Amino acid sequence: MIPRYSRPEMVAVWSPETRFRIWFEIEASACEAMAELSVIPKEAARAIREKGESAKFDVARIDEIERVTKHDVIAFLTHLAEFIGEDSRFVHMGLTSSDVLDTCLAVQLQRASDILIADVDGLLEAIKRRAFEHKLTPTVGRSHGIHAEPTTFGVKLALAYAEFKRARARLAAAREEISTCAISGAVGTFANIDPRVEAFVAKRLNLDPEPVSTQVIPRDRHAAFFAALGVVASSVERLATEIRHLQRTEVLEAEEYFSEGQKGSSAMPHKRNPVLTENLTGLARMVRSAVTPALENVALWHERDISHSSVERMIGPDATITLDFALARLTGVIDKLLVYPDNMQKNLDRLGGLIHSQRVLLALTQNGLSREDAYTLVQRNAMPVWRGEGDFLALLKADKDVVKALSPAELEALFDLGYHIKHVDTIFGRVFGE
């Protein structure tokens, strides 16, 4: 992943140094388990642990060996033997490369999940604060991009909060599903290694033994993981798109923070563009691009092949690093979002009262008119207002057929903005539990 869209903590999860250190932990733990079972000498297991933990693995040296061996795990084991010496003959006994690679990937995905879950927690905190700040800030709700009926900006943010609570749950479930360990040897039969070794390593790494690993951990687990990332990325894009629309010049109900010295355009000095949320839209596309390859990795040949390997070496770091960056960026956008209640009110008033049309319709039906007749009366007064030819309430008061059913005072009472937001407390109670 390019540095521009990367954060150090998540990058470190995928560094070669981290990978090799996890590989060593798997190998050393397996040796300790075998020593407990009297398969290898305890002194050897102890020496392997001590010498390996004090060693600084040389990535360049491992790469050099791999250029000859054409095998990354063998290259690592060869380099490890340079530190350990004679006892290295006990390392990797009964294991196959996928035992190390797949178990390591599980650890890395666990760590990545922990970072992403923490990211969502930070985002939820920011959304909640802003939601309560604008709990009763009236704004127009839109369907098909067209003014519909009033809502509040707090309700819009409550929607986002509920969505990212679900995102957090999805990430937690994905973390649990991916947290399995395979130390079962060639084709997964434990022929050359005791299943108790796998159980020991799994416990040491806070993983569960994979029930049937067939030399590789089944890739439906990974497909579910990356699919979860894709859904979370789509939630990021949904909220980013909402902000982009609200920042449009003709709307300008909310706006990304524009810092001192920031420039919006190389050509037009007046521009303040929604660059962060546009960037989030693009990043979401990149995270979702990992989902299809992950799904296609499920169908491997027989007990194993490595058609999935090259895919995961790319999508593992890229998808998690990108989503981590996107969640952090979205948190910053929400935290500093500029909100313009006056513009929200102006937009509410822009259609001359048409946002109250449904309430007038319902009042007419409650006073004896059929729904079809009531709809016709309301629409014939609404369409001139839509064309900019008058005020909705004034036209209704002048319509003899309307005032037969509703007095001018009754009509005026139907244009109360508070009517539309009377259940905001109920919505907030459902979302925030308070």
Sequential pLDDT tens for the chain (434 residues):
789 999 999 999 999 999 999 999 999 999 999 999 999 999 999 999 999 999 999 999 999 999 999 999 999 999 999 999 999 999 999 999 999 999 999 999 999 999 999 999 999 999 999 999 999 999 999 999 999 999 999 999 999 999 999 999 999 999 999 999 999 999 999 999 999 999 999 999 999 999 999 989 999 999 999 999 999 999 999 999 999 999 999 999 999 998 889 898 889 989 899 999 999 999 999 999 999 999 999 999 999 999 999 999 999 999 999 999 999 999 999 999 999 999 999 999 999 999 999 999 999 999 999 999 999 999 999 999 999 999 999 999 999 999 999 999 999 999 999 999 999 999 999 999 97
Amino acid identity, residue 55? A
pTM for the structure as a whole: 0.95
Amino acid identity, residue 35? A
Q: Is-catalytic flag, 144?
A: yes
Question: Tokens 């797949």 appear where?
Answer: 102
- DSSP lists the bridge partners of residue 254 as 339
Please report, for residues 175, 176, 211, 212, 216, the alpha-carbon distance to residue 208 in angstroms, rounded to integers and kept in the order given. Answer: 12, 9, 9, 12, 14
Sequence-distant (6+) residues with CB within 8 A of 155 are: 421, 424, 427
What is the spatial distance between Cα 138 and Cα 159, in angstroms, rounded to a whole number? 15
Please report, for residues 50, 98, 206, 366, the alpha-carbon distance to residue 46 in angstroms, rounded to integers and kept in the order given. Answer: 6, 24, 21, 85
3-state secondary structure of 83: helix
Which of these is catalytic: 15, 71, 265, 423?
Answer: 265
Please count the residues of the chain.
Answer: 434
Q: Considering only CA atoms, which of 335, 359, 45 is closest in space to residue 204?
A: 45
E strand or H helix at 242: helix 220-246
Pairing mode, if any, of strands 208-209 and 180-181? Answer: parallel
What is the spatial distance between Cα 432 and Cα 427, in angstroms, rounded to a whole number? 8
Please report, for residues 121, 178, 256, 273, 310, the alpha-carbon distance to residue 243 in angstroms, rounded to integers and kept in the order given. Answer: 20, 34, 8, 11, 37
Which of these is catalytic: 144, 259, 270, 302?
Answer: 144
> Computed from CA positions of residues 11, 13, 17, 20, in that sequence, does the dihedral angle turn out positive or negative?
negative
What is the spatial distance between Cα 19 and Cα 174, in angstroms, rounded to a whole number? 21
> Computed from CA positions of residues 114, 217, 56, 10, in that sequence, does the dihedral angle turn out positive or negative?
negative
386 C-beta neighbours (distance < 10 Å), count:
12
Q: Are 391 and 353 in contact (CB under 8 A)?
A: yes
E strand or H helix at 116: helix 97-133
Question: Tokens 């037009």 appear where?
Answer: 268
Q: Is-catalytic flag, 54?
A: no
Q: Are 148 and 355 in contact (CB under 8 A)?
A: yes
